[in-house]
Amino acid sequence: MFDLEKNKSEKYVSLETYKKNNQAVKTPVWFVVKNNLIYVITRSQTGKVKRLRNNLQVKIAPCTMRGNVTGEWVSGTAKILTEEQTKEAVKWRDQKYGFMAKIAKFASKNKGEFFAISIKMD
């Protein structure tokens, strides 16, 4: 089981999303734990977003920056957040990742608007 309290200080989780043909795609992502949910922020023009719009079922596992999984996989259901909820999630992410979040914002600005999901573990 993905222990939210134990893993919330980790830097990355591997987020597994699914193509229309059910092929899994694993991506290491930053995350924040709040209110027993996992929040992930990305940009609207990424492959993750396209896959999530088709299928909200996901799996996550703690991992390294390169995506090497270091813990157990857990299934969950993603929920696409509203613009207001996304702004709040971006604040949480910025608090956790500090200066690196500022760099990431600048480096990814050509990939669309912020897009956030919350993940509830099954």
Type of residue found at 88: E
What does each of the 122 residues of the chain score in pLDDT, given as a tens digit?
A: 677 777 878 899 999 999 999 999 999 999 999 999 999 999 999 999 999 999 999 999 999 999 999 999 999 999 999 999 999 999 999 999 998 998 898 889 889 999 999 999 99
pTM for the full predicted model: 0.93
Burial (CB count within 10 angstroms: exposed 0-12, middle 13-18, buried 19+), residue 111? middle
Domains assigned to the chain: 4-121 (2.30.110.10)
How many Å apart are CA 86 and CA 80, to the nearest integer? 9
Q: Identify the pLDDT of residue 8.
A: 79
